[in-house]
Structure 1
Amino acid sequence: MPRDTSRRAGDSLIPKAPALPVPAEEPITDSFPVSTDSTGTDSLYVPKISKDSLEAPITYKAKDSIVLLVPDKRFYFYGTANTKYQKTTLNAERMMYDQATGVMEATTASDTAGKPYGRPQLEDNGQAFDSDTLRVNIASHRAMIINTRSQYGEGYVLSQKTKREADNSIFGYRNGYTTCNLDTPHFQFNARKIKVIPDKLVISGPANLEIEGVPTPLFIPFAIFPITHGQQSGILVPSYIVNAQKGMGLQNGGYYVGLGENFDMTLRGDIYSYGSWMLTASPTYRKRYHYNGGLTLSFSNTRLGDPSVKEEFSRSRDFRITWNHSMDSKARPGVTFGASVNFGTASFNTFNVYDYASRVNNNLSSSINFSKTWQGKPFNFTSSLSHYQNLSTRDVNISFPSATFTMNTLYPFQPKEVVGRAKWYHKLGIGYNGTLNNSVQFKDSVFGKPKMFDALQSGVKHSVPISFSIPVMKNFTLSPGVSYSEFWFTKKTIRQWNPNKRVSVDSLGGIDTSYQSGFFSARQASASVSLSTAIYGMYQFSKTSKVKAIRHVMRPTISASYAPDLAAAAYYTLKYNRDGDSLRQSYFTSSSVGVPSEGRSGSISFGLDNNLEMKVYSKKDTSANKEKKIKLLDGFGINGSYNLLAKEYKLSPFSLYARTNLFDKLNVSASGTLDPYEVNARGVRIDRYVWQEGKLSLGRLTQANIAMSTSFTSSDKKSKEKEQQINNIENDQSTDAAFQAQQRQLEQVRRNPGEYVDFDIPWKVDLSYSLNYSKQIQADSGGLVSSFQQYVSFNGDFSLTPKWKIGLSSGYNFSDRKIAYTNMYISRDLHCWQMSINLVPIGTYRQFSITISPKSGILRDLRINRSRTFYDL
């Protein structure tokens, strides 16, 4: 058949035969033979295989047409062509196969506007290539690729010309390496020559960093990029920082060590020009469907001032230990174990942490908990370690070990099947609660020293409650009860006034504390009965009013109790100043299992809880009533008691509270304590009510607090879509390392939401206000102490552009008349990278830092940046 040299429109490389009509309606699929030479004269015909035959057939198809030129041994494919040979798959708009040379050529087509389409896509032995033009030898797997883009692990190589050898190694000419998955990447390292060793390394000669198509001054003599599949070890690039006290430095640089599917470790370090440094080790562990957790150990050495001037030089050595552990509930049904430990020196945050939330938090707390529930039985066991630390006062409280064994309430007189009306004794229940606790309170400066162990307290408490409930009339419930508690202690705390003790430069007198070891016990018993009900009131407005009705619900409670004086020996009189003022205090004040009350008690307790709601007209309501409920007050009330058997101070202080959420925006909570008794000139109570002095009041305000908070956020049209994407990843049961890494990243985002900014939310503002007042006698301070604190805090961010966001976190202390710790940041979304500029503009520890780092795949998809240089401690 004569060869036709005519050209197909849009194709300048491939000739087309003239007269081979092929239907274009359906794709053509076939396989062509691997041999063109076969002879035989017998019925048992065995063909001879030619030397140029392939090891397997090639399957092929094309939407438009397939043309075979028999003399030239060539096949031409038009229209979304696809060929497969063993593990090699090639897709392109145009293809030509030369059977004589075994070379398959694929090219890109162009439409009438000159726009290219149908780029060749090659997949061979796990390697993928996207290119303009591709020539591959089917038998040897060698290939020449023009203008290609291929992926290796998490990186992409863009090459003007690529040569692939039979061993799958790649040699590229005029290349770019990047981790950005866009066709036009935001950044890349440009290198003239590059070599790829499959599943191992990408190696290049001299390379230059290019950002947004602009070459930078950064040149490197050579580059080695590991091809990562899942977990890989590597260097963590530090960020640049300038600190007013420490000087210039590099922060958060280090090394990540991958130790397998279940373990890894991050090593980080900070170093500053004035000699300060910090080292952090963060190993993590996990076992799917069983447990996961992580530990962080940080040690720092801070140098402030000039070492040659002793008066201006100071050094602080600090540490911080954190540990988080969680157990999968399905691992061992009925058994749970978890840990959240955060322990360190008081000055660690001051010198080493610059995150706003951490700097303004003066408390550290830890807990380790184990619990077991016996299935089908009424027994529960819990054991824990807890730690509380006040960084301002440097007080530390540790409880360990603590254990509680509980038997749920049993009803021994209740039959398995009740016939007729239940008897009152059917509701009689008995339970048991046993508590063991060891605790110690000390200043952090004596940690590990004998003084700390002298303060160690141990105690055991046994409680046996007996209770039952009796319906009274129609709307009342009567609940009698009896309880007995036994307390065991191993140490007495004896505090005495010492007039010769120097507590300050210009004053003498203070309290000495001593301890007496041994076995001590105390007990208490009580009997009580309570009556409660609920009263509803409704006020209806006119039909034309937008306010339809207001409903008021009152829940009054009254109870009576009697307790004999079984703990008189557990109390003594403590003098606490030179004027002879004193108070009654227990020998076991610091006991972690509590202390029984002193004196006989025949009390009548009362309480009143209220709830206020309003119905208003609403156009948005789809029902016929067109009404909407609004809560005016979620709860407000008062509690108190009157002891009929007390010799003095029979009326207890009144406790008041209120809470609400106005318009679903403003959260308000308040509480206070009113003491009904008068005080003398030194603030000591006297047995005389305030209203007996002619004051129109329930009592003196001794403690009060109020807190308000609100948040305003612009709408996020993609919020539901994002939440669904996050839920899909979190619920994915795949054991693939990439999915597990995404799940850990999302857990980090949920655990530290303040460290991340969402570029799909244009703006966000959070406001909070708190006021605390206290006026009480404190023995260690020598008498009446007043405290008044008022604080407002705010944080928020807004988008300057779709890819630029600025944020601010700060506050104001009205009591000290000072601006609180302030942190500002600017974050830039670079798609595959992120940039954060952090600034602490005021205060002793002013700081500036800038971080540019790659972004994980899940954060890239959700358009979330990590805005802080602070990392988990």
Structure 2
Amino acid sequence: MIALFLFTGANQQVFGQSETGTQDSAKVEQVVEDSTGSDREDNSFLESKVDYNAEDSMIIDMQQQKAYLYGNAIVTYEDLKLEADYIEIDFNSNLVMAKGLPDSTGEVKGKPLFTEKGQQYEAGQMTYNFKTKKGKIKDALTQQGDGYIHGQDIKKENDNIFFIKNGRYTTCNKEDPHFYILASKLKVINNEKIVTGPANMWVSDIPTPLAIPFGFFPNKRGRQSGVMIPSYGFSPERGYFLQNGGLYFGISDNFDASIRGDIYSNLSWSTNTRINYKKRYKRKGSFDFQYTDAKDGDPETTDFTRRESFFVKWNHSQDPKAYPNSDFRATVNFGSTDFYQNTFNSEIRNVVRNDFASNISYTKNFANSPFNLTFNGSHSQNSRQESVTATLPQATLTMSRIFPFKRKVRVGSEKWYERIGFSYSTDMKNTVTTSASEFNLPNIEDRMRYGVRHSIPISTSIKAGHFTFSPNININEVWQFQTIRKQYDPELENNVRQDTLQEFRRFGNYSASMGLATKLYGMYSFGENNKVEAVRHTFTPNVSLQFTPDFSSSESGYFEEYQVDSLGNTQQYSVFEGGIYGAPNQNQRAVINFDLQNNVEMKYKSENDSGDVEFKKAPILEMLSANWNYDLLSDSLNWSPVNLQLRTTIAKIINLRGDLRLDPYALNENGQRINEFQWDENQRPFRMTQGSVNVGFQFQSSNVKNRSTDKGTEAEKEDVENNPDAYVNFNIPWRLSVNYNFQVRKTGNRTSQINSVNFNGEVNLTENWRISFRSGYDIENKQLNITSFDVYRDLHCWQIRFNIIPFGSRQSYNFNIGVKAPMLQDLKLQRKRSWFDNQ
């Protein structure tokens, strides 16, 4: 190891050097006197030590005060680091020069790599002054934010400002980029901006007509606020347009927001506001509000239409570590039922959806107690039926099951009464169901139903050999704030006027039941030499008796009578009819319930990776059940229909679901259920009233790669999670999903059915080509569902996206070729035709 110390006058300046390889490892120290005496300028003094070393060789010229470093040379000074195959240091002028050296083939190796404050520069040659911190770089490459700058000559003015001659700016990370913006002059301000003079775009080293008088490129790292440039075009239906333009607010790593909009020359417009928030180990979520004002036709004509619609999305989740005893979650999807049919840029998966639901909940668990409290708000709507049901608010206080008779210190076996337990719950809610068009009317409170219900279930279980006996009692108390009154009115069509009274009334009811259950097993063995060792059948029968008393006596006050016709005939009704928790039972019931559960699975041999044989289980029938009941006190139609359900998975690929509803009673000529068995009338045991079969399967390549986002930054992973449709997943080479759905329903003499198949999939044609599709066929109506194709081509730093819906009501296409990087995302070519232009 060789060390050099330079002392000048009363000031001391230290330069340290180390050398590895074949050089002598002995340490050598020398003092070199200043040959210039007191006339030497103060600019020659450095404030910190300069360290340098080389693997190959090093020459120290004491007379000229220079050092020559060869082979993987490194020089460090404060936060500066310079690496090259050849470095020359001039201690007199505080200059360092670095360059690469040719190898035996003449190729230059070890070109300079300059690092300062985390910023790196690759160069053909560079010169740097330690004192002034200025430098000159030739044939340099540096990364600025999401972009790269190639410069023929770079002048480093200070730590933050660079001037570049004949510079190329690009987001392509290739040494020879596929495209770049060429400018004769560039000014780079680190972590702020890049400013260019006149520039034009080059693709594959070929100039294009795309030129600008000046350029401005932000190069700050992290989230930055700015303008989102809209795309432009022409729609035959709505005229010229600007789409997806707006503002982005990169407030912090925990919070950002964007406002986008579309505007058409016929004055149609839409807006989309999105807010994302995240606090690590606390919470995360997003909020979207979309509004569309769609106009079609000439306002001066009768065929002019205007449709205003909106949609709100809110997703919020809480990290369990933040508040262990409480949880707050929200999933909101609420808006106009025809929003996705009217909006300009709707996704296919939303267009075909008919149901939207929302739920907001807050749960509080009280530590060291059996109680927990839940506040809930929910909503559901059907775009086809245009109905909306909202429940807000709903509060539930529950007490988990406790065993009051259980001994704290048990001696001997457990007594039967120790298994007696009860729980408690109070539920309070307000619900309204109406059409979407009337949801915001001022008199919506007239449709509200609200009340409070208290429930106390008491139960126990008693083991008797292979049987389990389970008696229980359920006690309910209901508070209602609305009741009804019915009166005879001959002027009305049905002769009945019904009024809703705002008053507080209560009713109580109870029911009791007892059940008997067991499990039966059947086993069939195939022998040790078979791959399938055995098949086991588990049969679980359950019989229970449920009793509900009659609460319609006049003493209860729950029921009243009203006149139904001019003859004076009366009929009994409950004042709680239509209440949110129903009405008291009007007829005494004693029902025997039958429930049969079946499960079939096999045990087979399988070899693991090491070749050892191990036994595994696989389901043959996950569930095959049958349930029905018999009413002991009914004077007719005592047997209920039999419900059959089937669920299983075949080879971990095919999911099979089915259900069947079989009625033992026949119908008369008017399609009404009569008290005559189907066997007696038609010599068949049952009459099918409802059935469905759903078969779904998915095939995909077994060669599934790890997700590329696993190696990405947290911000990249979050962006993929929030915008899944903006990314293409090449990790699955191919995938195909098919779902067949058949449903039939018979109501009286009328039969309706659904018979359709839906399928979607994706395939990588090559490493950079990917095609996905979505379609379906309505077998009943003999027509295709909405069909779409997506084609994606990865061009390294560019990408091509092509989406087409070739036929149907949403026929449209969208072709886009552009730069991947967000910095230059507006550098693109787009052609599109919207679905509403075909109407």
TM-score band by shorter chain is 0.7 to 0.9
RMSD: 3.6
Establish whether residue 191 from structure 1 lines up as the match of residue 183 from structure 2: yes
Match in the other structure for 1:799: 764
2:73 and 2:83 in contact (8 A); partners too: yes
Match in the other structure for 1:329: 320
2:23 and 2:57 in contact (8 A); partners too: no
Match in the other structure for 1:701: 688
Change in CA separation of 1:810 and 1:27 when aligned onto 2, cut-off 3 Å: farther
- Shift in Å, 1:392: 0.5
Specify the code of the residue in structure 2 equivalent to 1:366.
S
**Matched residue SS, 2:407:** coil
Pick 1 or 2: higher relative contact order, CA cutoff 8 A, min separation 6. 1
Establish whether residue 285 from structure 1 lines up as the match of residue 277 from structure 2: yes
| 1:597-629, Cα deviation, whole Å (9 max, x unpaired) | 442111111111101123456566978766554
Distance 1:808 1:534 in 2: 47
Specify the code of the residue in structure 2 equivalent to 1:488.
W
- Shift in Å, 1:785: 5.9
Matches within 5 A, 1:610-621: 610-616=598-604, 618=606
Establish whether residue 647 from structure 1 lines up as the match of residue 618 from structure 2: no
Distance 1:645 1:587 in 2: 25
Distance 1:304 1:358 in 2: 22
| 1:58-91, Cα deviation, whole Å (9 max, x unpaired) | 1110001110223333211001001112222111
Match in the other structure for 2:541: 556
Change in CA separation of 1:286 and 1:629 when aligned onto 2, cut-off 3 Å: closer
| 1:274-317, Cα deviation, whole Å (9 max, x unpaired) | 54321111122233322222211111111223444423x32211
**Matched residue SS, 1:419:** coil
- Shift in Å, 1:141: 1.2
- Shift in Å, 1:466: 0.6
Establish whether residue 824 from structure 1 lines up as the match of residue 789 from structure 2: yes
Distance 2:671 2:561 in 1: 18
Establish whether residue 748 from structure 1 lines up as the match of residue 722 from structure 2: yes
Matches within 5 A, 1:721-740: 722=707, 726=710, 739-740=713-714
Specify the code of the residue in structure 2 equivalent to 1:704.
G
Establish whether residue 841 from structure 1 lines up as the match of residue 812 from structure 2: no
Establish whether residue 24 from structure 1 lines up as the match of residue 21 from structure 2: yes
Distance 1:308 1:497 in 2: 52
| 1:627-685, Cα deviation, whole Å (9 max, x unpaired) | 55432110011011111112222222222100011011001111232232222333322
Change in CA separation of 1:533 and 1:58 when aligned onto 2, cut-off 3 Å: same
Percentage of matched positions with identical amino acids: 33
Match of 1:541 among 480, 504, 526: 526
Match in the other structure for 1:762: 733
Match in the other structure for 1:789: 754
TM-score normalised over the length of structure 2: 0.87
Specify the code of the residue in structure 2 equivalent to 1:483.
N
- Shift in Å, 1:525: 1.1
Change in CA separation of 1:323 and 1:838 when aligned onto 2, cut-off 3 Å: same
Distance 1:183 1:463 in 2: 73
Match of 2:664 among 664, 676, 680: 676
Match in the other structure for 1:659: 647
Distance 1:816 1:496 in 2: 47
Aligned length: 799
Match in the other structure for 1:426: 418
Establish whether residue 458 from structure 1 lines up as the match of residue 443 from structure 2: no
Distance 2:489 2:144 in 1: 77
Match in the other structure for 1:5: none
Change in CA separation of 1:689 and 1:133 when aligned onto 2, cut-off 3 Å: same
Change in CA separation of 1:620 and 1:434 when aligned onto 2, cut-off 3 Å: same
1:524 and 1:567 in contact (8 A); partners too: no
Residue range with higher mean Cα deviation, 212-221 or 107-116: 212-221
**Matched residue SS, 1:772:** strand
1:414 and 1:427 in contact (8 A); partners too: yes
Distance 1:542 1:387 in 2: 56
- Shift in Å, 1:374: 1.0
Specify the code of the residue in structure 2 equivalent to 1:471.
K
Match of 1:414 among 394, 406, 410: 406
Provide structure 2 residue ranges, at least 5 long, that are not aligned to the other structure.
1-18, 565-570, 826-831, 835-839
Matches within 5 A, 1:344-359: 344-352=335-343, 353-359=345-351
1:253 and 1:270 in contact (8 A); partners too: yes
Match in the other structure for 2:133: 141
Distance 1:276 1:132 in 2: 56
- Shift in Å, 1:458: 0.3
Match in the other structure for 1:132: 124
Provide structure 1 residue ranges, at least 5 long, that are not aligned to the other structure.
1-21, 41-45, 502-507, 577-582, 730-738, 778-783, 861-867
Change in CA separation of 1:595 and 1:249 when aligned onto 2, cut-off 3 Å: farther
Distance 1:215 1:388 in 2: 56
Match in the other structure for 1:17: none
Establish whether residue 814 from structure 1 lines up as the match of residue 811 from structure 2: no
Change in CA separation of 1:26 and 1:595 when aligned onto 2, cut-off 3 Å: farther
1:160 and 1:174 in contact (8 A); partners too: yes
Match of 1:298 among 290, 293, 305: 290
Change in CA separation of 1:409 and 1:194 when aligned onto 2, cut-off 3 Å: same
Match in the other structure for 1:716: 703
2:607 and 2:613 in contact (8 A); partners too: no
- Shift in Å, 1:835: 3.3
Establish whether residue 37 from structure 1 lines up as the match of residue 34 from structure 2: yes
**Matched residue SS, 1:140:** coil
Distance 1:716 1:682 in 2: 60
Specify the code of the residue in structure 2 equivalent to 1:154.
D
2:55 and 2:72 in contact (8 A); partners too: yes
2:20 and 2:55 in contact (8 A); partners too: no
Residue range with higher mean Cα deviation, 94-103 or 315-324: 94-103
Change in CA separation of 1:306 and 1:33 when aligned onto 2, cut-off 3 Å: farther
| 1:751-798, Cα deviation, whole Å (9 max, x unpaired) | x4x664322332221111112222347xxxxxx764312221111122
Residue range with higher mean Cα deviation, 370-379 or 557-566: 557-566
| 1:342-397, Cα deviation, whole Å (9 max, x unpaired) | 11101111022532211111111111000001121100111100000100110000
Change in CA separation of 1:589 and 1:630 when aligned onto 2, cut-off 3 Å: farther
Change in CA separation of 1:542 and 1:60 when aligned onto 2, cut-off 3 Å: closer
Change in CA separation of 1:689 and 1:489 when aligned onto 2, cut-off 3 Å: farther
Distance 1:704 1:572 in 2: 40
Match in the other structure for 2:621: 633
Change in CA separation of 1:803 and 1:684 when aligned onto 2, cut-off 3 Å: same
| 1:442-501, Cα deviation, whole Å (9 max, x unpaired) | 00111221442211110211111111111111x221111111112222234689999999
2:764 and 2:770 in contact (8 A); partners too: yes
Change in CA separation of 1:573 and 1:280 when aligned onto 2, cut-off 3 Å: farther
Change in CA separation of 1:198 and 1:527 when aligned onto 2, cut-off 3 Å: same
Change in CA separation of 1:117 and 1:596 when aligned onto 2, cut-off 3 Å: farther
Specify the code of the residue in structure 2 equivalent to 1:646.
S
1:245 and 1:845 in contact (8 A); partners too: no
Change in CA separation of 1:122 and 1:558 when aligned onto 2, cut-off 3 Å: same
Residue range with higher mean Cα deviation, 562-571 or 88-97: 562-571
Distance 1:825 1:574 in 2: 65
